[in-house]
């Protein structure tokens, strides 16, 4: 993998780039749909291809437990298993272990946990997560990290961040190359000095890309935006920056304005299955009785398959009747919205009009835009 | 609607025909996928189009209760509502009232019942079901009938059949035309004299097509095949014959050999959602551990989207992991199997080799073929 920085916005930290992987290019800023169990829920690869999707995120924790990385390897790797020819990034499994597994215990060695599926005992170490991700055969691997609660005390944040650095070094030691790529993860909560040390030391170890972990977990948008801005300023310009697990349309715009290149989030797909649909003027709850006889599409002018063929009345009916097709049509629309938003962002950066596009887009969403404070630093940090 | 009988097999009762509807032609023998709640579960219209599907069945009972036929009418009719440009047949609602509703009561006037959804009280009369189906705007309407249990006593079968005849006449009285079409339904259990009277009197009322109701409900294949054969012999050759709610691949072949032109059944779609897949050599239970590392498709050489892109290992994983995509990929395969079987049957009749094709197909399924007994009568009854 290698990364080409194509251009930088003059007024914000927004960047246009391209990640070159063994499974094709990935144009950044990019939103990666989440395919937890080797499927973006309800969708087929051809649906993602129809949206010009270039990269997916899959979850190592889930695939390790079921069907097992050895099974995936035996049938030809994750791409072949799920019929997806584009790029795949996997997380390390650490986040899911800490949020889903039972009786988890963190030691210097790694994380011991019981499966949420059958209670079986497992140990996830830095070396083991690399082994699992290599067996899956993906394009971008993530180093093992700990994501502490945002309101953990400073001492815990510090100790956890230092251990994450040692885990990062161990991951890099067993996988020193760039093919597949390995990304390090910057932690440190919203504590500026911890983030700075984490960024500096992670950068010193040296990775193909750098992720920002531990954000979008309750600290609030203002703190997140500030931390993102301060952290990207400390990361090399010639490597992609990935903000893990974030976020709302507003979050994407504000954080790409602060130098983030990659995002992933379950929001568009999970909201779709809850009947909440994204539009350029805000969210629509398709369950509402107001839609019962509404012959209009979710969004006028939207070019997704759902909006081209079906009315709000039909989508509401499918939802109320418990029909699986409704979950799928909603997912198609929401992912189209997210991927189209990123497409528009890339075009705006290319055309040198990112700030006005961002403000206009947020205004339509009735969201107050915020302005990055440290733009100068961003452009002088490497 | 009108029906063209294109050719008849020389050695069996099998027929090639074409139903001309306002939403395109329907080549017979035909299998109609079931779209109960205005969707073939998990599928989009484009999936059905990809399989060259020409006609769907939807359920009046379900659509009347939710979203309501008035809602469907208001947003432009059922075709537009569900985005389906092909033909649609609706049942009368009578069968679902008797199998799903609570506190149902049959009188000469019609059927009084409580909704299985909210307990609300409704009355379905012959006139009302025509009104509802016309509001839905479908291509083929079914007359109201009663489908008694197959083991009801003779007196009940007789009384029920006579009432169904009176209901049929009332349906025809309020909808005397052929556009949209109205089909009458022959009842009488497996009792030869009752079936004969029902067929004769239904034919005397005069419909665009004739259905065989009350079969495939526990009487067993042998009794069903005999009743089908005896009944089609009494129906006009120049109208389509529709065997309601049937059946297995074997049932389709045996009954088209006995003069049936149209079928519908939830078997391919419901089995798909239970993980049971149809192949030319019998059924495959995709849940089985034997498939865990099986890189082969469900059926080698199958041209469906599922078999062209995914392994048994992946389908098993999706099923075990509870992923919606698995239900959908299974449904795509099973419907392909059913519609392809019908395509093969039509080609075999066209080519004058239906009997050998039928025997070879059943032999691969390890099913013993049976021979229609009354072929001569079939060809002399009109």
pLDDT digits (tens, 9 = 90+) for A110-123: 999 999 999 999 99
Q: Considering only CB atoms, which chain B residues are within 8 Å of A305?
A: 44, 46
The pLDDT score that the predictor gives to residue A367 is 82
> Using a CB-CB distance cutoff of 8 angstroms, which residues of chain A are in contact with residue B81?
311, 313-314, 317
pLDDT at B375 over 50: no
pLDDT tens-digit profile of B193-211?
A: 999 999 999 999 999 999 9
B324:A42 CB<8 A: yes
Tell me, what's the pLDDT at A99?
A: 87
Looking at residue A375, its pLDDT comes to: 41
CA–CA separation, A312 vs A289, rounded Å? Answer: 10
Note whether B292 contacts A71, CB cutoff 8 Å: yes
Q: For chain A, how far is it from start to end, CA to CA, in angstroms?
A: 21
* Region of residue B232 (left: phi > 0; alpha: psi -120 to 50; beta: else): alpha
Secondary structure class of B208 (helix, strand, coil) = coil
Q: If you measure CA to CA, which chain A residue comes closest to B67?
A: A317
Q: 0.80 exceeded by the pTM?
A: yes
A66-92 pLDDT, tens digit per residue, is 999 999 999 999 999 999 999 999 999
Closest residue of B to A117, CA-based? B321
**pLDDT means over runs of 10, chain A (382 residues):** 97 98 98 98 98 98 97 98 98 90 91 94 97 98 96 97 98 97 98 98 98 97 98 98 98 98 98 98 97 98 98 98 98 98 98 98 89 48 32
**Given a cut of 70, is residue B377 above it in pLDDT?**
no
> How far, in Å, are B47, B69, B84, B192, B269 from residue B39 at the CA level?
11, 15, 9, 37, 11
Query: Is A153 one of the catalytic residues?
Result: no
Stretch B48-72: mean pLDDT: 98
Q: Which residues pair with A32 in a beta bridge?
A: A264
Which pLDDT score is estimated for A354?
98
B371 pLDDT tier (thresholds 50, 70, 90): confident
Q: What does the pLDDT read at residue B373?
A: 63
Query: Rounded to the nearest 5 degrees, what angle is found at the Cα of A343, between the Cα atoms of A281 and A334?
Result: 50
Q: What's the confidence (pLDDT) of residue B184?
A: 98
pLDDT digits (tens, 9 = 90+) for A301-349: 999 999 999 999 999 999 999 999 999 999 999 999 999 999 999 999 9
Task: Grade residue B382 by pLDDT with cuts at 50, 70 and 90.
Answer: very low
Residue-wise pLDDT tens digits, B146-161: 999 999 999 999 999 9
Please provide the DSSP assignment of B131-163 as one string.
HHHHHHT-SEEE-------TT--HHHHHHHHHH
Contacts of A310 in chain B (CB under 8 A): 83
Residues B209, B358 contacting (CB under 8 angstroms): no
Contact A276, A284 (CB under 8 A): yes
Q: Do B318 and A39 touch (CB under 8 A)?
A: yes
Chain B residues touching A293 at Cβ < 8 A? 71, 74-75
B349: pLDDT confidence band, cut at 50, 70 and 90? very high
Q: Do residue B321 and residue A74 have CB atoms under 8 angstroms apart?
A: no
Record: contact A328-B323, CB cut-off 8 A: no
Mutation site for B-interface testing, chosen from A33, A67, A273, A329 by largest number of B Cβ within 10 Å: A67
B37: which chain A residues are within 8 Å (Cβ-Cβ)?
317-318, 321, 323
Distance from CA of B43 to the nearest CA of A (A): 6
Q: Which of A9, A139, A251, A264 is the catalytic position?
A: A264
By CB atoms closer than 10 A (0-12, 13-18, 19+), residue A46 is exposed
* pLDDT of res. A381: 32
* Chain B environment of A62 (Cβ under 8 Å): 321
Cα–Cα distances (Å) from A69 to A76, A138, A264, in that order, read 11, 11, 22
Is B47 labeled as catalytic in the residue annotation?
Answer: no
Nearest-by-Cβ selection for A71 from B71, B293, B321: B293
Confidence at residue A373, expressed as pLDDT on a 0 to 100 scale: 63
Identify the residue among B35, B270, B321, B335 best suited for mutation to test binding to A, counting A beta carbons within 10 A and taking the highest.
B321
- CB contact under 8 Å between B83 and A323, yes or no, is no
Q: Least CA distance to B289: which residue of chain A?
A: A67
Say if residue B281 is exposed, middle or buried (CB neighbours under 10 Å; 0-12, 13-18, 19+).
Answer: exposed
Which chain A residues are Cβ-neighbours of B309 within 8 angstroms? 44-45, 83
Cβ contact (<8 Å) for B81 and A325? no
Per-residue pLDDT of B273-332, as tens digits, reads 999 999 999 999 999 999 999 999 999 999 999 999 999 999 999 999 999 999 999 999
Inter-chain CB proximity A37 and B317 less than 8 Å:
yes
Closest CA to A263 of A19, A29, A21, A6: A29
Gap between the Cα atoms of A163 and A173, Å rounded: 15
* A:B CB pairs within 8 Å: 114
B interface residues, A as partner, C-beta within 8 Å = 37-39, 41-46, 62, 66-67, 71, 74-76, 81-83, 292-295, 305, 309-311, 313-314, 316-318, 320-321, 323-325, 327-329
- CA A347 from chain centre, in angstroms, equals 20
Nearest to B37 among A67, A310, A321 (CB): A321
Query: How far is Cα B160 from Cα B187, in angstroms, rounded to an integer?
Result: 8
Interface contact B81-A311, CB threshold 8 A: yes
């Amino acid at each position: 993998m290698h990364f080409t920085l194509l251009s930088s916005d003059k007024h914000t930290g927004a960047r246009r780039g391209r990640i070159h992987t063994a499974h094709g290019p990935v144009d950044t800023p990019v939103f990666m749909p989440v395919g937890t169990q080797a499927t973006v829920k309800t969708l087929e690869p051809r649906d993602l291809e129809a949206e010009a999707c270039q990269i997916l995120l899959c979850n190592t924790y889930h695939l390790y437990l079921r069907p097992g990385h050895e099974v995936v390897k035996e049938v030809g790797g994750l791409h072949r298993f799920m019929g997806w020819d584009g790029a795949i990034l996997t997380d390390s499994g650490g986040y899911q272990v800490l949020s889903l597994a039972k009786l988890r215990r963190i030691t210097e060695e790694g994380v011991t946990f019981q499966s949420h599926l059958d209670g079986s005992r497992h140990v996830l170490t830095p070396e083991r997560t690399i082994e699992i991700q290599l067996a899956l055969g993906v394009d971008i691997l993530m180093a093992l990290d700990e994501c502490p609660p945002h309101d953990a005390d400073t001492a815990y944040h510090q100790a956890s961040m230092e251990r994450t650095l040692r885990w990062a070094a161990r991951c890099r030691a067993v996988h020193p190359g760039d093919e597949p790529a390995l990304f390090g993860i910057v932690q440190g909560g919203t504590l500026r000095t911890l983030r700075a040390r984490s960024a500096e030391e992670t950068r010193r170890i040296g990775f193909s890309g750098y992720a920002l972990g531990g954000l979008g977990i309750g600290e609030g948008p203002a703190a997140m935006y500030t931390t993102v801005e301060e952290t990207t300023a400390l990361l090399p310009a010639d490597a992609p920056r990935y903000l893990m697990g974030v976020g709302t349309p507003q979050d994407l715009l504000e954080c790409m304005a602060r130098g983030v290149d990659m995002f992933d989030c379950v929001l568009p797909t999970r909201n779709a299955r809850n009947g909440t649909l994204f539009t350029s003027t805000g969210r629509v709850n398709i369950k509402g009785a107001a839609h019962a006889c509404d012959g209009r599409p979710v969004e006028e002018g939207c070019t997704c398959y759902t909006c081209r063929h079906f009315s709000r009345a039909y989508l509401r009916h499918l939802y109320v009747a418990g029909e699986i097709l409704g979950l799928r049509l909603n997912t198609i629309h929401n992912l189209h919205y997210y991927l189209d938003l990123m497409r528009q962002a890339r075009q705006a950066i290319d055309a040198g009009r990112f700030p006005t596009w961002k403000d206009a887009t947020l205004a339509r969403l009735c969201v107050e835009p915020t302005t990055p404070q440290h733009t100068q630093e961003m452009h002088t940090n490497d």
